[in-house]
C-alpha cells in the first residue's frame, strides 16, 4: 500500500482516539464545555431528588432516544461497509472518477474500508455503552428515596453516571465528525489530512472557545 495513502487513511483514527486523553489533560487548566455541563448535571440530580413530576423521566427519555437513534444508524452503516468489502473492485472505476491526484490500488481501498469499519464500530460501541449508562442513571434516579434529604455522595454518584453516559455519547458523535475526512480520502489523501485538522480545530473551538462555552461558564460555579 502507498505509505502516504495509508497515513492519510489512519490519521482520522489516530486523532479521534487521542482526542479524549489529550483534552482530559487540557481540562485541568481550562474546563471544556462538557466539563462545565457536568456541574449542571449535578444540579439536575439534586433538584430531581426533591420533586415528584414526570419532567425528569421525559428528559431522560429524550436523551436515550437520541442515543438509540445514532446506535441503530451506526449499525446500518457497519453492515453497509461489510457489504462493500467484497465489491470494491466493482466500485473502483466509479471512485476513480472523483479521485484527484491519487491513484489508489485495490489494497488501498480495502485498507481504507477497514479503517472506516474501525471508526464506525468504535462509534457503535460508544453509543451502546452510553445507552446502558443512561439506563443505569434512570434506575438510580428512580430508586432514590425522596422521603429524606439526598446524601451528597448519592447526588455525586448519580450525576457522575449521567456524565459518563454523556462522555460515551460524545465519543460516538466525534467518530461521525471524523468520518468526514475519511470520505475526503477518496478524493485526495491531502484533502483527508486537511479535513482531519479542520475537524480537530472545530472540536477544540466548540469545547473551549465557543459562545456556548462562554455563556455556560458564566452561570457555572
pLDDT tens for each residue of 125-171 = 999 999 999 999 999 998 888 778 878 889 999 999 999 999 999 99
- Cell numbers placing 27: 481540562
The residue among 77, 16, 31 whose CA lies nearest residue 199 is 16
Arithmetic mean of pLDDT over the chain: 89
Task: Give yes or no for a contact between 126 and 172, defined as CB atoms under 8 angstroms apart.
Answer: yes
Q: How many structural domains compose the chain?
A: 1
Output 152 or 219, whichever has higher pLDDT: 219
Which structural domain, as residue segments, surrounds residue 200? 3-218
pLDDT for the residue 98: 65
pLDDT for residue 51 is more than 60 = yes
Q: Match 462522555 to its residue by C-alpha cell.
A: 167
pLDDT for the residue 164: 96
Q: How many CA atoms lie within 13 A of 108 on its CB side?
A: 24
pLDDT for residue 1 is more than 60 = no
pLDDT for residue 193 is more than 80 = yes
pLDDT for the residue 97: 66
- With a CB cutoff of 8 Å and minimum separation 6, the contacts of 190 are 8, 101
Neighbouring CB atoms inside 10 A of 189's CB total 25
Mean pLDDT over 4-27 rounds to 91
pLDDT range class, residue 30, cuts 50, 70, 90:
confident
Q: Match 457489504 to its residue by C-alpha cell.
A: 83
Task: Give yes or no for a contact between 15 and 196, defined as CB atoms under 8 angstroms apart.
Answer: yes
Task: Give yes or no for a contact between 141 and 45, defined as CB atoms under 8 angstroms apart.
Answer: yes
Q: Match 436523551 to its residue by C-alpha cell.
A: 63
Q: Please give the share of the chain, as a percent, with pLDDT higher than 70.
A: 94
Mean pLDDT over 87-113 rounds to 74
Amino acid at each position: 500500500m502507498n505509505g502516504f495513502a495509508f497515513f492519510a487513511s489512519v490519521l482520522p483514527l489516530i486523532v479521534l482516539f487521542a482526542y479524549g486523553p489529550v483534552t482530559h489533560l487540557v481540562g485541568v487548566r481550562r474546563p471544556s464545555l462538557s466539563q462545565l455541563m457536568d456541574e449542571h448535571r449535578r444540579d439536575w440530580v439534586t433538584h430531581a431528588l426533591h420533586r415528584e413530576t414526570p419532567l425528569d423521566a421525559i428528559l431522560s427519555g429524550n436523551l436515550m432516544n437520541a442515543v438509540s437513534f445514532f446506535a441503530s444508524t451506526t449499525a446500518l452503516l457497519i453492515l453497509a461497509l461489510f457489504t462493500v468489502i467484497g465489491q470494491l473492485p466493482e466500485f473502483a472505476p466509479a471512485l476513480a472518477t472523483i479521485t484527484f491526484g491519487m491513484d489508489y490500488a485495490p489494497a488501498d481501498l480495502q485498507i481504507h474500508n477497514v479503517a472506516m469499519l474501525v471508526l464506525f464500530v468504535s462509534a457503535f460501541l460508544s453509543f451502546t455503552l452510553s445507552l446502558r449508562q443512561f439506563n443505569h442513571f434512570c434506575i438510580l434516579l428512580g430508586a432514590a428515596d425522596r422521603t429524606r434529604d439526598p446524601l451528597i455522595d448519592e447526588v455525586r454518584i448519580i450525576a457522575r453516571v449521567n456524565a459518563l453516559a454523556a462522555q460515551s455519547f460524545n465519543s460516538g458523535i466525534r467518530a461521525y465528525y471524523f468520518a468526514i475526512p475519511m470520505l475526503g480520502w477518496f478524493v485526495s489523501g491531502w484533502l483527508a489530512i486537511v479535513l482531519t485538522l479542520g475537524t480537530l480545530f472545530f472540536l477544540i473551538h466548540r469545547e473551549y472557545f465557543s459562545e456556548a462555552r462562554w455563556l455556560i461558564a458564566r452561570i457555572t460555579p
